[in-house]
Structure 1
Amino acid sequence: MNILNKKIELLKKIALRFNDANITWALGASMLLYFKKITIEFHDIDLMIANEDVESVQKILSEMGEIQPPNPNSKYKTKSFMEFIIDSIDVDVMAGFSIVSDGKVHDCSLHKEQIVEWMTLENTKIPLQSPILWCEYYRLMGRKEKVDVIESALANN
């Protein structure tokens, strides 16, 4: 199985566990853009979760893989950022996602109404955030190349 398929299989396993535990979550960042056919690659799995689900998510993912030591970045003031290695794949989990831009902290926490659609992978439901929302997040992060790719893809739809 190639690495791309391995990542998708892992997403399905995580989704089953999260959905069974009634976790409020959504797929974000590059893997979201991949499934929306905006980008052709992604490196890790980025999951946005509700603040109240941090403990449950940490327990579930710790059973599946290994949590990594914290690696803080001053560009973010995220309430809870957890990085796991599961089946040799990097899984980043964010609750209370916040981006520091121009000296201001922008709260980018997941809210249920930000789950704009559900994608199904072999009977497993995957909640998705909007590429437009992620375009704004990337703009706040100063990731111009991502903003350009998303804007170009959305303009062509």
Structure 2
Amino acid sequence: MMFDTLSYIGEKLNSLNIIWGVGASILLNQFGLIEKPNDIDIFVDIKDIEKTDEVLKSIGKKKKWEKNATYSTKYFYEYIIDGFDVDVMAGFAVNHINGVFEYIFDHNSISESKTINGVNIPFTSLEDWYVIYQLIPNREAKVKIIESYLLLNGIKNLFLLERALKGNLSIEVREKIKKILSS
């Protein structure tokens, strides 16, 4: 059912040529790393946020945004569509001990696409989520799952980890990325 909603959203976003990608628990589910996704998390190119907001408001209910100290994301919108929580982010940024990490989301961030219910669904990369989850509190289990997968199956998007290293990261995260790159 959640994937029916995702494909419905995808059809709408694709028809407007919006640059977007799915991440978080649905991404992990697609790689067989978790059983059941929590919600639908979508990144969009910052230039497409207004079009995305209009489309999603037309097919669901927009929730009131509550500020969270963990994030400094420029645009964070929440919707209920077909009974599912849908989070949409543009200009995603995570606060951490050494400052703010600003995630670069662009066409290079799309690691692969899958067809769900006849609709092309773009996915962000495990490599990017390996970095993001290290910066978000209480995501250690997800970091371990992704790290194990990358070590077993190989890193497919080296350049994304290298790009992340150019951002504002904590020393600990920077060292973990360097370590996985050298393995």
Return the TM-score normalized by structure 2: 0.80
For residues 133 and 36 of structure 2, the distance between their equivalents in structure 1, rounded to whole angstroms, comes to 16
Larger Rg, first or second structure (1 or 2): 2
TM-score, with structure 1 as normaliser: 0.93
In structure 2, distance between residues paired with 1:58 and 1:39? 29
Range 38-47 or range 147-156, more displaced: 147-156
Q: What are the within-5 Å matches in structure 2 for residues 49-128 of structure 1?
A: 49-128=44-123
The Cα RMSD (Å) is 1.1
Aligned to 1:8: 3
Identify which range, 146-155 or 58-67, moves more after superposition: 146-155
Q: Note if contact 1:81-1:95 (Cα within 8 Å) is conserved in structure 2.
A: yes
For the 8 Å contact 2:4–2:117, the answer to whether it is kept is no
Q: Identity of counterpart residues, as a percentage?
A: 35
Contact 2:22 2:42 in 1 (8 A): yes
* Unaligned stretches of 5+ residues in structure 1: 1-5
**2:150 and 2:98 mapped to 1: Cα distance?**
29
Task: Specify the alignment match of 1:144 in structure 2.
Answer: 140
How many residues align? The count is: 152
State the 1:156 CA deviation. Answer: 3.1
Q: Give me the whole-angstrom Cα distance separating, in 2, the residues matched to 1:71 and 1:13.
A: 26
Residues 13-39 of structure 1: per-residue CA shift (max 9 Å, x gap): 000000000101000111111011111
What runs of 5+ residues in structure 2 fail to find an aligned partner? Answer: 154-183
